[in-house]
């Protein structure tokens, strides 16, 4: 797994890394390995996951076919204000003013 750090922005790179790890399921796997899971508990967990997946697929299929209403769209968030507007490239200013004599 590889994450590119741009402009020495470690915070953004960490966010991207965490999101990739979550998508891959690494965090869940590490958490599960912290303690022993009995084989019977593992079977029950895997069965519950399979049931959850099949119900989700059936719900999505029913929504596509029009049998169930589509989920409500999430409201869009307004863009965040920059903490450093003078560094923001999208700002209308041309940068810091300098005096010439």
Q: What is the number of structural domains in the chain?
A: 2
Domain of residue 19 covers 1-35
Whether residue 57 lies inside any domain: the answer is yes
CA atoms within 13 A on the CB side of 67: 6
Please check whether residues 26 and 49 belong to one and the same domain: no
DSSP 8-class letter at 75: P
The reported pTM is 0.50
* b/e map 47-67, b = 16+ CB within 10 Å: eeeeeeeeeeeeeeeeeeeee
Instruction: Tell me the pLDDT band of 99, cut-offs 50, 70 and 90.
Output: low
Whether residue 75 lies inside any domain: the answer is no
Please check whether residues 31 and 41 belong to one and the same domain: no
CA atoms within 13 A on the CB side of 17: 11
Whether residue 16 lies inside any domain: the answer is yes
pLDDT of residue 29: 87
Question: Rounded mean pLDDT of 61-67?
Answer: 92
């Amino acid at each position: 797994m590889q994450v590119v750090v741009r402009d020495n922005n470690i915070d953004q790179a960490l966010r991207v890394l965490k999101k990739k790890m979550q998508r891959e399921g690494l965090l869940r796997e590490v958490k599960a390995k912290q303690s022993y899971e009995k084989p019977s508990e593992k079977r029950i967990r895997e069965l519950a996951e399979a049931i959850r997946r099949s119900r989700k697929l059936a719900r999505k299929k029913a929504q596509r076919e029009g049998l169930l209403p589509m989920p409500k769209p999430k409201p869009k968030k307004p863009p965040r204000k920059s903490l450093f507007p003078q560094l923001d490239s999208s700002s209308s200013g041309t940068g810091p003013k300098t005096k010439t004599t």
